[in-house]
Amino acid sequence: MGRIHVLSETVANQIAAGEVVERPASVVKEMLENSLDAGATRIKISVEAGGKKLIQITDNGCGMVRDDAMLAFERHATSKIKNAEDLLSVATLGFRGEALPTIASVSRLRLETRAEEDAAGTVVEINGGKIARVEEAGLPLGTSITVRDLFFNTPARKKFLKAESTELSHIALLVTHCALAYPEKHFELHSAANAMLVAPPVAGYSERIYQVFGKQMLDQLIPLASRKALERGGLPEPPPWRRRSESGAVASAENASSEDSAVREPESFGEIRIHGFVSKPEIQKLNRNSIFMFVNGRTIRDRLLQHALTEAYRNIIPPTVYPVVLLFLELPAGEVDVNVHPAKTEVRFRQQSVMHDFVRDSVRAALMKARPVPQFVTEMRAHATAGTSLTPGAMTADLTTGAIARQSWEAAPGASFAGDIANFPGLAEDAGPGEPSDPVPAGGFALHAPVPPPLSPRLQFEGGIAVEASAAIPIARELETIPDNGCASALEVREEEPTLSALSTLQPLGQIRNSFILAVDEDGLWIVDQHVAHERVLFERILKQRAAQKVESQRLLMPIVLELSPAQHAVFREISDELQYNGFEAEPFGARTVAVKLAPAGVDASAVEKMLQELLEQFSREEQSLNLEKIRARIAASIACHAAIKVNMPLEQHKMEWLLAELAKTDHPYACPHGRPVVLRYSMKDIQKAFKRI
């Protein structure tokens, strides 16, 4: 007798559940997608015990007629596609017909639904995949699904669930995603008796960000929007050596002689669009939890797009931190394969490099255009709370009980978001390999007043910036009782924020410890790190000179002889051409020894050895393969660092003016090549606020 048999439907569903339903948040995701696909404008989710005990989702969508309500639990039953071709143009979030049967196979599920065409609604109850009850009931229009005791019949899976707080954090992050993507809809998330998110419809994305994360977050974001016409359909990419000839001169020469170019009709392949928000460079998060990306309305995680973001922020923020990003990509359905992952969290673009470069260039352009100035206070806070908070200091969630303690909340009226998504402990595990998880908030940064009296432990700046008790503000508070007879009237403040182009018109006052330049203009006080400022200037100059093959070098009086380790030697051989283009001349001198005769201009001879050692060491530790762009940037950064003005170096007035003017001319005056900030600004508004004038 043969040994093979077909698995029962229930077992098949339980196996599928392994892929589709990983945790309570996956149930929420599938249900949310179904509600959105059903055209719901109001979706309410309630959970208990992080969704382990109960998940209930109620919508006002189209509902299901009685027959459909039964059919929905059949494997591969869907109303969204009919045949394989439809897969190429899926316009709904769901299409696999798997979610309901698989969820029903691993939980106790109750469906209540009514479609407009039915007078009465339908109730279906299924326990562990077995139908327990089907009956008619008077129900409102729409659908409500209650999922209890997830994985009650698959104890092995249940064991893998994390703490309630972790599971809850995943659910909250997911609902936040949805709320951000659909600002015109009403979302609510409740955990036991706590309202975690209540977001009524708003006019647009920025209003939604304001509603969900608060004003301060919105202020730190730069809006972006761009579009690009596709040059071809989603055909496989030609190999790189063919790609250039497509648009370049070779193509026109080829086309002139080829007959088929005349035959081919000019076609339109649609366009790709991107809109959303990216954070200013001073916002630095320690994991990716504040990166929200959507492709055609679908929440996705995508390495390709992640890489595009890293590239866009290269040399603007350090490579170990992440920005806050909210991006919506729209492209023709045929350009993206949504059926590559059972939980539909990944997609495959048919024109990968086009997408990658489009995202990278759009984000980069937005950053370049804004040239935002790091705010003095924001900068401090950004470091103090790096990566811990999307709503700094606004709320704290007691995750063990699910209780939310309200502190000072300044979100839009009628909306609230309790709990700090990025700060939920469980989400740290989403950090990619090697990424550190967020530390416990270190508390606010202190603006030190000369004599700090011990006052209340922690106060809130407007927008939730936490300031330690030693700050100037609490001191001013003590004076509040003395009537103010107009001696502290507010000075006029310019409405729009200055950009870094203002650097060239600043008046330098002097240096602090011969290291930081203090400069002022009408709009505030600026502090410039002289070393990193010069480093940025040199870095960009060297890259430009390198591109023009015009890097200046100097002949060393005595050649420097370097002994290299085998690993360093291997790297040296790989990058020696590039070193030469950057002004070095180094010749082999024995087995693993090289003699350096020329070095880039500006680098002190005594620093040349250290610099080369550092570079080779850095490259030999690199795990990913080196590309030319990376090598060039690293070499330029290293030369810039060693040739730049040092700290503890007195500068004359004209030298400071020169440095500021040069810095203003750079493409990215706000960060050094390693991503550290160059400039801090203490705006008139901040100054007046601290002095309690406004």
Footprint on this chain of Mg ion (rule: CB under 5 A) = 34, 94, 99
CA distance 354 to 271: 11
Bridge partners for 395 per DSSP: 406
Nearer to ligand ADP, 99 or 608 (CB): 99
Query: Cα–Cα distance between 329 and 68 in angstroms, integer?
Result: 33
Q: Of 34 and 127, which has the nearer Cβ to ligand ADP?
A: 34
Please identify which residue in 13, 14, 58, 78 interacts with ligand ADP, judged by CB under 6 A: 78
Residues in binding contact with ligand ADP, number by CB under 6 A: 22
Residue number, 80 or 275, with CB nearest to ligand ADP: 80
Q: Which does 97 bind (CB under 5 to 8 A by kind): Mg ion, ligand ADP, none?
A: ligand ADP
Run of H or E including 568: helix 566-581
Q: Does residue 79 interact with ligand ADP by CB under 6 A?
A: yes
Q: What is the nearest approach in angstroms of ligand ADP to the Cβ of residue 22?
A: 16
Least distance to ligand ADP from the beta carbon of 98, Å?
A: 6
Closest residue to ligand ADP using C-beta atoms: 94
Which option in ligand ADP, Mg ion, none does residue 79 bind, with CB closer than 5 to 8 A by kind? ligand ADP
- Rounded alpha-carbon distances, angstroms, from residue 682 to 136, 367, 373, 379, 651: 66, 21, 10, 10, 22
Residue 397 β-bridge partners: 404
Q: Could you say which residues in the range 531-570 bind ligand ADP, by CB under 6 A?
A: none
**324 touches 217 (CB < 8 A):** yes
Other Cβ atoms closer than 10 A to 324 = 23
CB 348 within 8 A of CB 315: no
Binding-site partner at residue 315 among ligand ADP, Mg ion, none, CB < 5 to 8 Å by type: none
Least Å distance, CB 31 to Mg ion, is 8
**Residue 185 interacts with ligand ADP (CB under 6 A): yes or no:** no
If one asks whether residue 26 binds ligand ADP (CB under 6 A), the answer comes out as no
Which of 16, 25, 54, 72 forms a contact with ligand ADP (CB under 6 A)? 72
Site for ligand ADP in 133-152 (CB under 6 A): 143
The region of 60-68, 208-216, 256-264, 674-682 touching ligand ADP under the rule CB under 6 A is 60-68
Q: Which of 14, 34, 154, 385 binds ligand ADP (CB under 6 A)?
A: 34
Confirm or reject binding of residue 63 to ligand ADP (CB under 6 A): yes
Two structure tokens written together for 199: 């977001």
Distance of alpha carbon 572 from alpha carbon 619, whole angstroms: 9
Amino acid found at 98: E
Question: CB of residue 39 vs ligand ADP: minimum separation in angstroms?
Answer: 8
- The three-state secondary structure class of 199 is strand
Q: Which stretch binds ligand ADP (CB under 6 A): 76-84, 427-435, 463-471, 633-641?
A: 76-84
By CB under 6 A, tell whether 425 contacts ligand ADP: no
Query: 25, 27, 99, 551: which one contacts ligand ADP (CB under 6 A)?
Result: 99
Contacts of 577 (CB under 8 A, 6+ apart): none
Looking at 424-543, which runs of residues are DSSP E strands?
458-460, 466-468, 507-512, 516-521, 524-529
Asked if 314 and 636 touch (Cβ cutoff 8 Å), the reply is no
Q: Which member of 25, 56, 98, 199 binds ligand ADP (CB under 6 A)?
A: 98
Q: Which residue in this structure is represented by tokens 């998330």?
A: 189
Contacts of 148 (CB under 8 A, 6+ apart): 53, 54, 107, 108, 109, 110
- Give the angle subtended at the CA of 31 by the CAs of 96 and 134, to the nearest 5°: 90
The smaller minimum CB distance to ligand ADP, of residues 30 and 540, is found at 30
Q: How far is CA 6 from the centre of its chain?
A: 45
Specify the pairing of strand 325-330 against strand 298-299. unpaired
> Which residues in this chain contact ligand ADP in the complex, by CB under 6 A?
30, 34-35, 38, 59, 61-64, 72, 77-80, 94-100, 143
